[in-house]
Amino acid sequence: MSTVAFITARGLFGRRRALLLLPLPILLVGLALLCRMYDVSPDMWGQAVIVALGLAVVLPVVALIVGTGVLGSEVDDGTIVHILTKPLARRDIILAKYAVAASVTTVVSAVPLFVTGVLAGSAKLGGALAVAATVGAFAYSALFLLFSLISRRPVLVGLVYILVWEGLLGNFVSGTKNLAIGQYVIAITDEIAPNGMMQTPVTLTTAIVMSAIFTIAGTVFAINRLGSFSLAGETS
C-alpha cells in the first residue's frame, strides 16, 4: 500500500498537472497580502477573498485537480491494467491513492487559507480555515476520486458539481446547501471562529455528519467501482 502511495505521489508531482496547483493558492495569499499592505479592512475584502475565492474556488478546484489526477490518467491510458495485475487488494489501491489525494489537497489548500486568515488579522480564523479546509479536502477528494472511476470526463463532471451544484444552485435553491461540501466547510469555520463573513444555513452537526458520509461513501463506492474493472481495463 505504501508503494502505491509513493508511486502515486511521484507520478502526480511529475506531471504538468502539478503546476496547476500553484496559481490559485498564490493568488489567494497575494490578494490578502496586498489588502493587508494597503491597510484595507478585512470587513471589506474578507467575503470576496476568503469565502468567494478561498473556500468556493481554491479548495474545491485543487481537490478536483488532485483527486481526478491520482487515478484518472491511469484509467484513461490503460496503465490501470498493470496495477490490477499486482497482488494488491482493490481496497488497498484506492485507500493509498485516496490518502495521497487528501493529503496533498489538505497541504495545498489549508496552508494558504491559514495564512490568509492570519493576514485578515486573526490567527484563530486562520486555524479555523485550516481545520475546515482539511475536512473539506477529505470529502472532496473522495468524491472526485470516485468521479475518475465512473466517468471518462471526471474533470468536467467535477466542474459541474463545483460551478453548477455548489455555485449556481447553491445560491438559489436552499435545499442544495445540505448536499454541498463547500457549505460544510463554511459552517465548520464559522463555528470555530464566528465572524460575519460566513453565512450558511447548514448546522455544525449536519456539516460533520455529511462530510463523513461523503468521505466514507465516496471511498467505498470507489473501491467497489475499481473492483468491477477487468484486466482488459473495462468494467465487468
The answer to whether position 234 is within a domain reads: no
Which segments of 78-122 does DSSP mark as H helices, in order?
A: 80-84, 90-119
The answer to whether position 19 is within a domain reads: yes
Output the tens digit of pLDDT for each of the chain's 236 residues. Answer: 567 777 677 767 765 666 788 999 999 999 999 999 999 999 999 999 999 999 999 999 999 999 998 886 666 555 566 666 666 787 888 999 999 999 999 999 999 999 999 999 889 999 999 999 999 999 999 999 999 889 889 999 999 999 999 999 887 787 889 999 999 999 999 999 998 888 899 999 999 999 999 999 999 999 998 877 654 444 54
pLDDT in tens, 155-207: 999 999 999 999 998 877 878 899 999 999 999 999 999 988 888 999 999 99
Cα dihedral: 60, 62, 63, 69 (round 10): 140
Dihedral (CA of 208, 209, 213, 214) sign: negative
Single out the residue of 114, 163, 104 nearest to residue 138, CA to CA: 104
The answer to whether position 61 is within a domain reads: yes
Q: At what angle are helices 59-69 and 23-37 packed, to 10 degrees?
A: 160
User: Which residue range(s) make up the domain with 216?
Assistant: 3-227
**Which pLDDT score is estimated for 70?**
85
The answer to whether position 47 is within a domain reads: yes
The answer to whether position 236 is within a domain reads: no
The mean pLDDT of the chain is 88
Between CA 157 and CA 175 the distance in angstroms is 21
For the chain, the C-alpha Rg in angstroms (whole number) is 18
Q: Cell 461523503: give the residue.
A: 214
The answer to whether position 17 is within a domain reads: yes
Please report which helix (H) or strand (E) contains residue 224, including its range: helix 204-227
Point out which residues pair with 235 in neighbouring strands: 229
Query: b/e map of 70-97 (b: 16 or more CB within 10 Å)?
Result: bbbbbbeeeebbebbeeeeebbbbbbbb
The tally of domains found in the chain comes to: 1
The answer to whether position 235 is within a domain reads: no
Between CA 196 and CA 199 the distance in angstroms is 7
